Amino acid sequence: MSGHNKWSTIKRKKGAEDAKRGKIFTRVTREIMMAAREGSPDPDSNAALRLAVDKARAANMPKDNIERAINRGAGIGDDAVQMESIVYEGYGPGGTAIVIDVLTDNKNRTLADIKYVFNRNNGNMAAAGSVLWQFDQKGYIAVNADGVDYDELFLAAAEVGAEDVQQAEDDVYNIYTPREDLARVAGALREAGYKIEDSELTWVPKNEVELETQQAMQVMGLIEKLEDLDDIQGVASNLRITDEVAAALEAA
């Protein structure tokens, strides 16, 4: 999964940009709502909700906004709303496989928006299951590397069920877990005193495809436009981010 680390770095940088624009509030709000809908509205007894709330606090979301999102997701109050989690699949330039995680209160609107972006960026939607088989869904946790010993973190993470702990890159350690264990492992590491920079379910490609830089940039442009849609929680691809592509993204 080492090739996935460049994707993680890009996502963290985009997350910082989204935070500046306030856009991250929209995504984190939806995460809180979904976690509250699927479990207890109490973060102390709902690990997934605790992760979402921690992410909201890290983004400096006001306490009132967090509480409102919890209530909406749990169906408490007059503005309760039903959210639906959906996975869409598609192909980008060069035949790259793309998986899109959606959280929406209007799937017809969301699907129309996604189709529009694909059509305008040399991509197309795919039938359910035609792309997803090329990916494994994993839990991903980024742990701040400042002052953290790799061997100690490796042992701590392995003891609570992590599958892989990778050496520090971009000032964080990248940890992968079985999808069902993400919240539990992240919670255990937090309790052990580690600073969690990010945690999410992510799609990891079983095999990556390498494109020449110009076409790879077209794929990244498509992904960025998809991620800019309000209902999109995440986009994954089997594109290999080479050093040349990473440099071009930095310069763009």
β-partners of residue 5 are none
Distance set, CA 150 to CA 108, 185, 193, 194, 224 (Å): 46, 16, 14, 12, 33
Residue 117 has pLDDT above 90, yes or no: yes
Tokens of 137: 């869904």
pLDDT higher for 124 or 197? 124
- For the question of whether the overall pTM of this predicted structure is more than 0.75, the answer is yes
- Asked if residue 219 lies in contact with residue 94, where contact means CB atoms within 8 angstroms, the answer is yes
* Alpha-carbon gap, residue 177 to 175, rounded angstroms: 7
Question: 141, 122, 152, 161: which is closest to 51 by C-alpha?
Answer: 141
Exposed/middle/buried for residue 183 (C-beta within 10 Å: 0-12, 13-18, 19+): buried
Residue tagged 């919890």 (tokens): 70
Where do the domains of the chain lie?
4-74
- Asked if residue 239 lies in contact with residue 96, where contact means CB atoms within 8 angstroms, the answer is yes
**How long is the chain?**
252
pLDDT tens for residues 4-31? 556 666 665 655 555 555 677 888 888 8
Quote the pLDDT of residue 15: 59
Average pLDDT, the chain: 86
Q: What phi, psi does 160 have (nearest 5°)?
A: -105, 10
pLDDT tens for residues 124-146? 999 999 999 999 999 999 899 99
Domain 4-74 listed as CATH 1.10.10.200: yes
Tokens of 207: 């095999």
* Alpha-carbon gap, residue 180 to 139, rounded angstroms: 8
Quote the pLDDT of residue 74: 83
Span 210-214, average pLDDT? 93
Span 77-88, average pLDDT? 79
The DSSP element (H or E) to which 136 belongs, if any, is strand 135-144
Residue 169 has pLDDT above 80, yes or no: no
Question: In 10 A of CB 250, how many CB atoms?
Answer: 9
- Asked if residue 246 lies in contact with residue 170, where contact means CB atoms within 8 angstroms, the answer is no
- Asked if residue 179 lies in contact with residue 203, where contact means CB atoms within 8 angstroms, the answer is no
pLDDT > 90: percent of the chain: 48
